[in-house]
Every structure is written in C-alpha cells, then in structure tokens.
Amino acid sequence: MAGELLDNKGRGDAAWQWPAIHPEGRKIGLIATAVSLAFLLIFDWEIIGWPLLALSGGVFAFFRDPERVVPQGDTCIVSPADGIVSAIAVVEPPVELQGDDGTGVLGLPSGAVVRISIFMSVFDVHINRAPIGGMVRRLVYIPGKFMNADLDKASEENERQHILMERGDGVAIGFTQIAGLVARRIVPFVKPGDMVAVGQRVGLIRFGSRVDVYLPAGTDAKVLVGQKMVAGETVLAELGKQQLLEGIAH
C-alpha cells in the first residue's frame, strides 16, 4: 500500500549468513535444474546435462540476496548497486527526473550535478537498494536498446528505469537502472508513494548492467573510479549543511 514503510532486514546485523535466493531467480533456477536432471537421468546425455546443471547453480548465484548492514547517518548516501565505479562525471540529470511530472510532484532542479555510474557484472549481486531513506516520488520506465551498459550513451539509449526519492527534509536524489547486453528485464519492488528506508531493496536488473546515481547539487563523490561498491553499505557521498538547507527550502 502506498505510504507504507517497507522493511529493511539488512539493518544492524553484521553476522554472515548464507544468502537467500530472490524469487525471480528461484523459478529460473528450478526450471534449469529440472531440464539438466532430465538430460542426466532420463536421456543419459551427460555432455549436455552436466553443463546445464552447472548453469543452474550459476543462475541461483546470480539471484542471491544477501543481508546488508546499512550505515546509520543522516548525511549518508549509500550505493544502490554492487559493482565497480565505471565513471564519475558532471552532467545534467535526465529530463524524466527534472521538473513537474504533471502530478504536482517536483523533480530534481536543472543544472549540472555529479553522476556516479556503477557497472554490475554477471558475478555481482543484482538487487538494487535505496541510496537514501524517504518516499518514492517518481518511477519512470523507458524502453530502449541493449548496448553495452559500460558505454556513456547507454544512459540515454538503453532500456532504463528512473527512480526519484525524497527525504522528509526535502533532499531529493535520482538514480537510474540501465539494462545492458545481457540484462533483459528491470524489475521494480516499489512504486510511487512507498516509504523506504536507506538500504532497502527497491528492484533488480536481471544478469547485471549499470546504475547511475545523480548526487544533489553541491555534493561531491567520496568514491573513485575503479572502486568496488557494496549496495546498501558503501557510502557514495555525504550531504553537507548547504544541501540540507537547500532540501528544506525546496
């Protein structure tokens, strides 16, 4: 239900656990396992059955959903994705995240901001998490191409989903899930009006891709290109007093 505060199971528990498998991956993995067992036990085609069985294990690993320990600070902006920082650039936010969307909900202001791009390989966790806590103000899906997500133009041409979030003090942040060569589906877990905690699961991209984060104006990145990100745990940036005051004014 819109406005409901969604659970954040990863908060505060640092003990390692065997990661759960997200339901999106369970059905695919079970189908692949059943097919591989059929080749092994019924048709006795080991040359096909064993590779398929290994692929089944890979599918389960692709959709692992580990718990995360979220930094507890009012100024923290955490990474929404696992992966490697592939680029940090100063750009205009996407038009879908700016201005009034026709419902009276204001988006990000115009003007150049820092964009942090995080590339997710097929070996990374695919669950994406909220970089801040607050309300989901906007969710915009755009069909597009499936070129290499590591290319800069993928931000404008690939299939993607924009998410705009706003904290209770008015600070807003936008981020974009971008499909790539292998990824063929972006799955949202939230909808406009939902209240989510920082580090809460908000969606996934099947089989890796990229997530772009647009920091609030005047906020600098605390990470470097090539640095490994952990969704819900790595701090991308910290809000300063100026950003907090501008958020309240906005």
Compare 133 and 241 and report the one with higher pLDDT: 133
pLDDT reading at 115 higher than 80: yes
* pLDDT at residue number 135: 96
Mean of pLDDT values over 160-165: 94
User: Tokens in use for 34?
Assistant: 């059943």
Mean of pLDDT values over 155-163: 81
The pLDDT-based confidence of 209 (bands split at 50, 70, 90) is confident
Which residue, among 175, 210, 208, has the nearest Cα to 61 in the 3D structure? Answer: 208
Direct distance between the N- and C-terminal alpha carbons of the chain, in angstroms, rounded to an integer:
27
- Answer whether 82's CB lies under 8 Å from 28's CB: no
Active site residues: 209
pLDDT reading at 233 higher than 80: yes
pLDDT reading at 78 higher than 70: yes
* pLDDT at residue number 29: 79
* pLDDT at residue number 73: 81
